């Protein structure tokens, strides 16, 4: 079993991923939507790949969790209690603030807001209360596939099964065709290499089928290279290398810095509330002719404050309540789950 330090580093990586996504949205994405006159934003583009780091972490943690559960209902309770309560609060808060303050092109009606509470509303063509929720649909689809493998006793074959799916997708692409959009979403093909990489890292971390895991990691890298530009591919390789150095080798000790670990603790809540609420704050500063950077700093501080209140006021109390009433619920030791 790996040391506590390495698992702390895993939490810190989650915090860095959240921070990267926030910077991407406040600088690069906001500029694309509404404009940041005279402000350099291109440097923040790389932050969008924080989502890919989240997917690697999910592959690692979900595979870890399923290897520890005794009954299928254990996993369901684990996921629902972790994801939904704080998400429902984020949906309600974001909908109310955007409805009152306004945010051009990002408002939704009350029916859509209620449908957002499902978390898989995207499958019905219902708009998001906050655009960041698209990744939750991807995550849920990954959970469904992993849960299915668990039910049929195929969990240990996950690497091979996903490898077959990825190779089939590449063959179709190289033949000049594309997977149907529905199948592309159902199989989460654009992101499957990252989830699979997380599973491989778990097996390497545990010393299980290490050679096979490294071969699958190489395949994941090749597929990423086929599907992305050179610069995007380089960023994804850097993310995978960083994960390997931090979790497998324990070579990034600076990640145990408390502020980074704290960011990891509140990362899920921060991810849920930072975008549209932050945009509202930034637009308010622009409307008053105040410095845009000051608006982004204010948005960041406000998002961190709200995320902290959500984590310690909703997420963690709910988990403690579930622990007390459902002692068999699987919790990954020494690291939070998303």
Percent of the chain with pLDDT over 90: 82
What per-residue confidence (pLDDT) applies to 254? 87
pLDDT on residue 175: 87
Is a pLDDT exceeding 80 seen at residue 116? yes
CA nearest to 202, candidates 156, 164, 138, 233? 156
* Residue 338 pLDDT exceeds 60: no
Q: Give the residue, 181 or 62, on which the prediction is more confident.
A: 62
Work out the pLDDT band at 330, boundaries 50, 70, 90. low
Question: What Cα–Cα distance (Å) separates residue 100 from each residue in 103, 107, 277, 301, 302?
Answer: 9, 10, 12, 21, 17
Q: How far apart are CA 246 and CA 248, in angstroms?
A: 6
| Cα dihedral sign, 93-99-100-103 | positive
Tell me the residue ranges of DSSP E strands in 161-314.
Answer: none
User: What span, in angstroms and rounded, lies between the C-alpha atoms of 267 and 259?
Assistant: 12
189 Cβ neighbours under 8 A, 6+ residues apart: 165, 166, 169, 179, 183
- CA separation for the pair 311, 305 (Å, rounded): 10
Angle between helices 258-287 and 4-23 (to 10 degrees): 10
CA distance 259 to 265: 10
Residue 138 pLDDT exceeds 60: yes
pLDDT at 334 over 50: no
Taking CA atoms, 224 is separated from 30, 114, 190, 196, in Å, by: 27, 36, 9, 12
C-alpha radius of gyration, the chain, whole number: 20
pLDDT at residue number 8: 87
pLDDT at 5 over 70: no
The SS3 call for residue 42 is helix
Residue 6 has pLDDT above 60, yes or no: no
Per-residue pLDDT at 176: 84
pTM, entire model = 0.93
Contact by Cβ (8 Å): 200, 213 = yes
Instruction: Please tell me the predicted confidence (pLDDT) of residue 332.
Output: 47
**Torsion angle of alpha carbons 145, 148, 154, 158, nearest 10°?**
10
Q: How many CB atoms lie within 10 A of CB 160?
A: 13
pLDDT digits (tens, 9 = 90+) for 206-251: 998 899 999 999 999 999 999 899 999 999 999 999 999 999 998 9
Residue 272 to residues 88, 101, 131, 254, 324: CA-CA distances in angstroms?
10, 18, 9, 26, 27
Q: How far is CA 240 from CA 125, 160, 262, in A?
A: 32, 19, 22
Q: Residue 277: helix, strand or coil by DSSP?
A: helix
CA angle, 82 as apex, 76 and 85 as ends, to 5°? 110
Nearest CA to 49 out of 251, 238, 259, 297 is that of 238
Share of the chain above pLDDT 70, in %: 95
Quickly list DSSP for 61-105: HHHHHHTT-SSHHHHHHHHHHHHHHHHHHHHHHHHHHHHHH--TT
Q: Could you give the C-alpha distances from 274 to 56, 65, 214, 219, in angstroms and in order?
A: 21, 28, 36, 34
Are residues 279 and 103 in contact, defined by beta-carbon separation less than 8 angstroms?
yes
pLDDT at 160 over 90: yes
Q: Is the pLDDT of residue 70 over 90?
A: no
Q: Can you say whether the dihedral through the CA atoms of 267, 204, 63, 81 is positive or negative?
A: negative
């Amino acid at each position: 079993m790996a040391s506590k330090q390495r698992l702390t580093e895993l939490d810190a990586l989650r915090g860095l991923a959240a921070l990267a996504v926030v910077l991407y949205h406040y600088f690069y994405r906001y500029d694309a939507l509404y404009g940041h006159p005279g402000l350099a934003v291109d440097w923040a583009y790389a932050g969008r790949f924080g989502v890919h780091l989240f997917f690697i972490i999910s592959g690692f943690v979900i595979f870890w969790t399923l290897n520890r559960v005794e009954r299928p209902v254990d996993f369901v309770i684990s996921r629902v209690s972790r994801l939904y309560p704080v998400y429902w609060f984020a949906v309600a808060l974001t909908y109310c603030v955007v409805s009152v303050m306004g945010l051009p092109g990002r408002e939704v009606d009350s029916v859509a807001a209620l449908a957002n509470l499902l978390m898989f509303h995207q499958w019905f063509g219902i708009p998001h209360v906050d655009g960041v929720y698209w990744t939750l649909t991807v995550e849920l689809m990954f959970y469904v596939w992993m849960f299915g493998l668990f039910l049929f006793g195929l969990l240990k074959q996950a690497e091979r099964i996903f490898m077959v799916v990825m190779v089939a997708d590449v063959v179709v692409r190289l033949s000049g065709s594309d997977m149907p959009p529905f199948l592309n979403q159902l199989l989460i093909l654009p992101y499957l290499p990252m989830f699979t990489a997380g599973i491989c890292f778990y097996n390497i971390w545990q010393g299980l089928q290490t050679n096979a895991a490294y071969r699958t990691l190489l395949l994941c890298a090749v597929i990423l290279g086929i599907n992305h530009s050179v610069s995007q591919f380089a960023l994804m390789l850097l993310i995978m290398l960083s994960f390997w150095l931090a979790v497998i080798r324990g070579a990034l000790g600076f990640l145990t810095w408390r502020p980074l670990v704290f960011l990891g603790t509140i990362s899920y809540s921060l991810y849920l509330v930072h975008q549209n609420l932050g945009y509202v704050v930034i637009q308010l500063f622009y409307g008053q002719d105040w410095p845009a950077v000051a608006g982004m700093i204010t948005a960041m501080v406000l998002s961190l404050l709200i995320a902290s209140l959500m984590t310690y006021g909703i997420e963690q109390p709910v988990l403690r309540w579930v622990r007390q009433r459902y002692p068999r619920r699987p919790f990954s030791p020494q690291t939070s789950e998303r």
